[in-house]
Structure 1
Amino acid sequence: MAERKALRELAQGGVLLSSRALDAGWPRRSLTRAVRREGWTRLRAGAWVQPGHAAGFATHLRAVQLLHPQLVVSHLSAAGLWRIETLTSLDGAALEFVDPELGLRREGRGVRVYRIPLDEADVAVRNGLRVTNPPRTLADLLRSGPRDVAIVALESALTYRRVNGVRRAPLTRLDAVAAALEAPLQGKVRGQNRLGTSEPRSGSPAETIARLRMYDVGLHPESQAELLTPDGRRLYLDFLFRAEGLAVEIEGYAYHGTRDAHRRDVDRFNQVMRCSEIRSLLRFTAEDVFHRPARMIREILSALGAPRS
């Protein structure tokens, strides 16, 4: 009898399928004893992760895709693989896939499958996984995801961002996402309307959400408004109500990490206040935007001279 391959040799990206081991000649009882003896961890029915291999987000996606090769990673799971910010944590979230064959009925624990058409041109390979490309991923989120999550994801993908300590370049363009939204799928009009409210130059999720909260109460400031200081320096404000001379700046979580960063920010504040267009400036933290948005809006309305609600 030919010698059986070691289980590690049969694993793919650290994931072993029981069916692959059985096809390679492992008796079921011997396989069960071997995975227990060697310390393999069960990911889901029929899939194991090898000892020493982290059973993280991508590994769980790989296990599902190996079990169901027709599935393509999509929606929030695809966004995570592309390092697109979405406001949502992937820890414990359902793994999301598109089934272009429209046939899978039993999704399994912690798996969500969208039975919608998918062109092969919309599929890319990322970390060894078949995944919807950035334009299709964003179009899917704009069509069916929560508005704030979808627009944060869109604006994240359009610009340079640092995500989980990794700086990445823009992943796509607005016209490519618009083209992806032309597909005759449910939610097309919703997605196109959301696309029209986006600001491709937005610098952070907090900035995106601050703008959406202002839109929700009928405020439409200029975004990334350009100013020239008296000494000729060019500045860009997060938001500017030009007629009222009110600037609004959003400070991310990472600001003031060092003395130099704090000094640069103070200098920038002073330069903004020297511009003739600016009569007042409000600054809000990311915590204000995400956790105290009503107070942020009240302060903006008060500075604009609008009655408080």
Structure 2
Amino acid sequence: MEVSRALERCGGAARRPALARLGVDDAALRRAVRSGVLQPDRGLYALPTAPAGLIAVLRNRELLTCSSAAGHYNLWCLSARGLRHVYHRRQSAVGDEAVHHAGLLLPPASIRPVAALADVLIHALRCLPLKESLVMVESAVTRGDMTVGFLRDRLEGRRNGKARAVLQWVDGGADSLLETLARTYFRQAGIDVQTQVYLERVGYIDLLLDGWLVVELDGRHHADWNQVKKDHRRNNESVLQGYTALRYYYSDVVYQPEAMVAQVLAVLGRRR
């Protein structure tokens, strides 16, 4: 494979062993360096457009994990920015600009400096707050890439109690991280929650609480007017059928969950 194409497959930069797995030999690397491919460190090659963060990870021989690896696996994530989360054989080799995670169960990704999916999720469960680790795990479980049982079996002992506590809230089938979070907050408040319920002439709704309160969740920042009208008609039809409908947005679910739950409890309390 051509060196530039191999580097693109690796995200823009890679070490020699990863490139060798893609069929790149030493002679091709020498020619590529003469043609403009960068060599930031011994055995490290990069395109001029390679992200500086990727080069830093490779230079320090780290593996991305936890929230920093969510993008690689297309996981839902609330905290991809900030300090990078990495694995390194020696914690002392990781500077203050990164969060160190110890221990790997499985071999890492073959051509990119990323820990295996199971290790990424286990590190997240041990490191992140409930809502941040929960959405990462649930997205993998919903896709069928991971099971709760696999993770629970590898999180034994008292020190993993916090991580196991998150797993009890995982419930595959959510369409979005908003649905995962809202469903969890409502269940933690003692509310009966059904997800993805089908109503005639309405379609599938995100959440049905106590059998009569419809909650729809919208993560869009700039809503299309036709979609807004469609949503309003759906809400009207559900009301005609005897349901009550509430709608919440990203900022409500992620940043103001207490206010959202309080409103829902107030509405439910009237009929109860």
- Normalising by the smaller structure, the TM-score range is 0.7 to 0.9
1:74 to 65, 79, 94: 65
Q: CA RMSD in A?
A: 3.7
**Alignment deviations for residues 119-175 of structure 1 (CA, whole Å, 9 cap, x no partner):** 33xx333xx21433333322332233211100111222334xxxxxxxxxx2514xx
Gaps of 5+ in 1: 1-7, 18-23, 25-33, 160-169
Check 1:104–1:208 CA distance in 2 against 1; reply closer, same or farther (3 A cut). Answer: same
Deviation for aligned residue 1:289: 2.0
**Alignment deviations for residues 43-65 of structure 1 (CA, whole Å, 9 cap, x no partner):** x99978553x13255x24xx423
Number of the residue aligned with 1:179: 150
Gaps of 5+ in 2: 16-25, 27-32
Instruction: Give yes or no for contact 1:95–1:110 (8 Å, CA) kept in 2.
Output: no
Deviation for aligned residue 1:209: 2.5
Which runs of structure 2 are paired with 1:1-309 in the superposition (5 Å)? 14-15=12-13, 50-51=47-48, 53-55=49-51, 57=53, 59-60=54-55, 63-68=56-61, 71-90=62-81, 92-97=82-87, 99=88, 102-120=89-107, 123-125=108-110, 128-159=111-142, 170=143, 172-173=145-146, 176-183=147-154, 187-216=159-188, 218-229=189-200, 234-242=203-211, 245-253=212-220, 256-259=223-226, 261-276=227-242, 278=243, 280-305=244-269
Q: Distance in 2 between matches of 1:234 and 1:254?
A: 23
Number of the residue aligned with 2:20: none
Report % sequence identity: 20
Which residue type is aligned with residue 146 of structure 1? P
Q: Distance in 1 between matches of 2:84 and 2:100?
A: 10
Q: Distance in 2 between matches of 1:94 and 1:266?
A: 41
Check 1:301–1:147 CA distance in 2 against 1; reply closer, same or farther (3 A cut). Answer: same
Deviation for aligned residue 1:305: 1.8
Q: Distance in 1 between matches of 2:216 and 2:86?
A: 35
Q: Distance in 1 between matches of 2:79 and 2:164?
A: 22
Q: Distance in 1 between matches of 2:232 and 2:268?
A: 24
Check 1:77–1:177 CA distance in 2 against 1; reply closer, same or farther (3 A cut). Answer: farther
TM-score normalised by L of structure 2: 0.72
